[in-house]
Amino acid sequence: MHIIGNVSIYLAFFLSIYAFAAYVLGIKKQDQRLIDSGKGATMGIFILASISMILMLVLLGTSQLQFEYVYRYTSTDLPVMYKLAALWAGNAGSLLLWTFFLAMYSAMVAFSRKMIRNPMTPYIISIMMLNVIFFYFILSFVTQPFALMDGVPPEGRGLNPMLQDPGMIFHPVTLYLGYVGLAVPFAFAIASLIVKSMDAFWIQMTRRWTIIAWAFLTLGNVIGGYWAYTELGWGGYWAWDPVENASFMPWLTVTAYLHSVMIQERKNMLKVWNLSLIILSYALTLFGTFLVRSGVLTSVHAFGETNLGAYFLVFMAFMVILSMYVLMSRYHLIKKDTGQFESFLSKESSFLVNNLILLGATFAVFWGTVFPLVSEAVRGTKVTVGVPFFNTVMSPILLALLFIMAVCPLIAWQRSSMKNIRDNFLIPAVISLAVAAVLVIMGIRNAYPVIAFAIISFMVLTHLVEFIRGTRARRKVTKEAVPVALFRLMIRSRRRYGGYIVHLGIALIAFGIVGSNFDVERMETLSIGESMEIDRYTLTYENLGQRTEGVNDIVFANIAVEENGRELGYIQPERIFYLNWEEPSTEVAVRSTLREDLYVVLSGWEEDQRATFQVKVNPLVKWIWIGSYVLVIGSIFAIWGGRYGQVTPRYAGPERKVH
């Protein structure tokens, strides 16, 4: 197995070099046979990557401890699903997964029905091959997943308890699918520049790829937040950790890109802007990987100090410089035949403002993330930027973004009149002001939540107005029933209404985020039979128990919960002690409703069975997860069953030699 694993990696490395050379020579010599050979090599790389992946999963699942990676991240007592999830617990395994996804995406593009005879395909795949070559170089010569131990140890070191959670089975996979997926639109963009195809063909062809990558990035961030909320025991879901920020930044820039490309498609504008956004998004995925694997910043998510950071930094610099060189060399062609903004009060202007806000958010997160490095380089002292900085900076940015999202659906293209604005926004604005007034009457005096809830209401209402107006207009023509008219309206404009569903999901997430700022927290030490009160809840500590699951010991507390005197049942916070790990793991007890979460952590206990509990009441947190589901549903709806349209590239490609 050691030989098969290493051979599959080395062979794939050399095959990726061959594929790149075959594509480049095929383009230069106008030789279709070389291009077809490169495509065959691309499929061969994917097959070899699959072999490597399957082999590693077999080694992990069967506890082949003679392999260093299996020894370092598993133990024989681990449940099988966590043995397999150890694939992405360390550098070598996670990079193997990343490379597999790269090979998979490359093969999917190369053999896509739309791309199989497209003259841009060899350019696109050759750019993706640069990524494949780099990652296989790392796997071959820097961090080798199939390295052997000197002997066969009796037991493995085990998996970090924080990773033994269902959320960590899905979080890295979805995040990697998003990260790697952005290499596809990046490759299309650079290829279109190289072949001087300045139309929107590459955007139309990559819209689905980009939305899929964006949706996976979204899922990765949300699942990571849920895992942090339920596993780490600190009561929150987003800590502005450097690695969290690293995955959030490309999400922001891709979101901006997905909005601004609509202006290019409709108005032939923002060509340079869109190309720059996709280059930036791709670069940020590499930057995030650099942060995780360099050890330059402390993070619960990072892989610790490794020698990989320098390699990723060099590769990122190379790809960014190459991209900017190609972009600048085609700048004179890009600027030809571009449209102009006709009015500030227009949909395209609102999209541009949306982009500027998202880019501002990206810069704020980037600066807060790298400031410790900058301060250490300048002053010799690493100054950590805390959560208050991010919350203070990002809160007004979030409000501005939500307001622009509320305005965008009902504002017209090209130019909106004051009458149009009054007719479209008067009723939603009045209702939103009424919501703000009700909140003030209820006793909320803090300006931020009042303004936030009013804007969220405004955003939801403007989107509902768009659904209602579209349905009415269709019914006038077709006389269909309301549900039928609404369904067919949405089906015929999947991209538009899928986007609106995504916006509603973001509104629900924002609703949960703003509400969770009103949390209440208490920590108290109780003897058996004693109670504590927090908000409307009374918690009675009944007993402390212990049980065994496999080789793990679990200490738990039984707590009876009452709300305003009404019995709600029991909750059971736990601490799990692992055989191969010094620190116990926290298992939070959460009673979740649409109104709030009752969040209980067993912090410690004494020999006389007195126990210390950290208890929080987190309002509206469940809406964050509900909004995430809505957001993903909207993304799937926007791309499911849609068509690229009858689009063909203006670039016809060189004439092929006949052999």
Closest CA to 17 of 28, 25, 27: 25
407-432 mean pLDDT: 80
What the block records as the tokens of 188 is 């299309």
Do the beta carbons of residue 105 and residue 180 sit within 8 Å? yes
Q: Which residues pair with 560 in a beta bridge?
A: 540, 570
Rg (CA), the chain: 27
**Beta-strand relationship, 520-526 and 531-534:** unpaired
Cβ–Cβ under 8 Å, residues 575 and 593:
no
Shared domain for 325 and 289, answered yes or no, is: yes
Residues with Cβ within 8 Å of residue 572, at least 6 apart in sequence: 556, 557, 558, 559, 589
Q: How confident is the model at residue 162 (pLDDT cuts 50, 70, 90)?
A: confident
Domain membership of residue 359 (yes or no) is yes
Do residues 356 and 256 share a domain? yes
Average pLDDT over the chain reads 88
Angstrom distance (rounded) from CA 464 to CA 183: 35
pLDDT of residue 646: 37
Q: Which amino acid is at 362?
A: T
Q: What is the 3-state secondary structure (H, E, C) of 414-438?
A: CCCCHHHHHHHHHHHHHHHHHHHHH
Q: At what angle do helices 166-181 and 91-110 cross, to 10 degrees?
A: 50
Write down the pLDDT at residue 654.
41
Secondary structure letter of residue 232 according to DSSP: I
Residue position matching structure tokens 């203070």: 392
Segment 186-193 mean pLDDT: 93
Residue with the bigger pLDDT between 101 and 445: it is 101
Residue matched to tokens 């102009």: 340
Q: What whole-number distance in Å separates Cα of residue 138 and Cα of residue 293? A: 12
C-alpha to C-alpha distance for 354 and 348, rounded to whole angstroms: 10
On whether the CB atoms of residues 246 and 221 are closer than 8 A, the answer is: no
Question: Which DSSP string do the residues of 116-162 spell out, in sequence order?
Answer: TT-TTHHHHHHHHHHHHHHHHHHHHHTS-TTPBPSS--SS-----GG
**pLDDT at 382 exceeding the cut of 80:** no
Please check whether residues 204 and 352 belong to one and the same domain: yes
Query: Are 325 and 408 part of one and the same domain?
Result: no
Q: Which residue has the higher pLDDT, 417 or 557?
A: 557
Classify the C-alpha dihedral 3-5-6-12 as positive or negative: positive
Q: Helix H segments across 30-77?
A: 32-61, 68-73
Kindly provide the b/e burial profile for residues 80-93, where b requires at least 16 CB atoms within 10 angstroms of the residue's own CB: eebbbbbbbbbbbb
Model pLDDT, residue 299: 54
Distance from C-alpha of 177 to C-alpha of 97, rounded to nearest angstrom: 10
Same domain, 225 and 358: yes
In a domain, 378, yes or no: no
361 and 431 within one domain: no
Q: Which residue has the higher pLDDT, 643 or 125?
A: 125
Which residue has tokens 């601490």? Answer: 575
| Confidence bin at 649 (pLDDT 50/70/90) | very low
Band the pLDDT of 645: cuts 50, 70, 90: very low
- Residue 428: CB partners within 8 Å, gap ≥ 6? 406, 457, 458, 461, 462, 465
Flag whether 258 is in a domain: yes
Is a pLDDT exceeding 60 seen at residue 134? yes
User: Worst-scoring range by mean pLDDT, 211-215, 375-379, 564-568?
Assistant: 375-379
Give CA–CA dist 205/185, Å, rounded: 9
Confidence at residue 303, expressed as pLDDT on a 0 to 100 scale: 53
What does the pLDDT average to over 81-90?
A: 92
Query: Does 144 fall in a domain?
Result: no
Same domain, 409 and 320: no
Do 329 and 425 sit in the same domain of this protein? no
Domain count along the chain: 2
Q: Do 308 and 178 fall within a single domain?
A: yes
Q: Answer yes or no: do 188 and 225 share one domain.
A: yes
What gap in Å lies between CA 105 and CA 103, rounded to an integer?
6
356 shares its domain with 454:
no
Q: Please, are residues 619 and 489 in contact by the beta-carbon 8 Å criterion?
A: no
Lowest average pLDDT, out of 211-225, 266-280, 407-421, 559-573, goes to 407-421
Alpha helices in 228-334 (DSSP H): 242-267, 271-294, 309-329, 331-334
C-beta separation of 463 from 505 below 8 A: no
HSE toward the beta carbon, residue 81, CA cutoff 13 A: 8
Q: What is the pLDDT of residue 19?
A: 96
H/E run at residue 549: strand 537-549
Res 297: pLDDT: 62
Q: Is the pLDDT of residue 57 over 60?
A: yes
Q: Which of 544, 513, 514, 512 is nearest to 612 (CA)?
A: 544
Distance CA 140, CA 10 (A): 6
* Cα 529 from Cα 543, distance rounded (Å): 8
Q: Pairing between strand 520-526 and 611-619?
A: antiparallel
Is 558 within the bounds of a domain?
A: no
Residue 40 pLDDT greater than 60, yes or no: yes
* The predicted structure's pLDDT at residue 656: 39
Residue 563: its H or E element: strand 552-563
Q: Is the pLDDT of residue 155 over 50?
A: yes
Q: Are 133 and 20 in contact (CB under 8 A)?
A: yes
Helix (H) / strand (E) element for 533: namely strand 531-534
Domain span at residue 250? 160-333+346-371
Cα separation, 565 vs 560, in Å, equals 12
pLDDT of 658 strictly over 60? no
Calpha distance 553→555 (Å, rounded) = 7
Structure tokens at 41: 């090599």
Q: What is the mean pLDDT of residues 27-55?
A: 95
Angle at 103 between CA 100 and CA 108, to 5 degrees: 125
The share of the chain scoring above pLDDT 70, in percent, equals: 93
In a domain, 145, yes or no: no
pLDDT at residue 372, as a whole number? 82
Asked whether residue 197 is assigned to any structural domain, the reply reads yes
Contacts of 520 (CB under 8 A, 6+ apart): 534, 535, 616, 617
- Mapped onto helix, strand or coil, the DSSP state of residue 572 is coil
Q: What is the pLDDT of residues 454-467, one digit of tens each?
A: 999 999 999 999 99
From residue 208, give the alpha-carbon distance in Å to each of 184, 252, 552, 642: 10, 18, 45, 9
Out of 231-235, 475-479, 540-544, the most confident range is 540-544
Closest listed residue to residue 241, CA positions, set 279, 288, 277, 284: 288
Q: What is the pLDDT of residue 495?
A: 87
Place of tokens 């097959």: 47
**Band of residue 410 on the pLDDT scale cut at 50, 70, 90:** confident
The encoded tokens of residue 346 equal 């227009």
Q: Which pLDDT score, from 0 to 100, does residue 644 have?
A: 38
Band the pLDDT of 17: cuts 50, 70, 90.
Answer: very high
Q: Is the pLDDT of residue 643 over 50?
A: no
d(CA 408, CA 401): 11
Strand pairing category for 585-587 and 589-592 = unpaired
Q: What is the pLDDT of residue 337?
A: 57
How wide is the angle at C-alpha 222 spanned by C-alphas 219 and 223, nearest 5°? 80
Q: Do residues 243 and 302 both lie within one domain?
A: yes
Q: Which of 611, 467, 408 lies closest to 525, judged by CA?
A: 611
Residue 46 covered by a domain: no
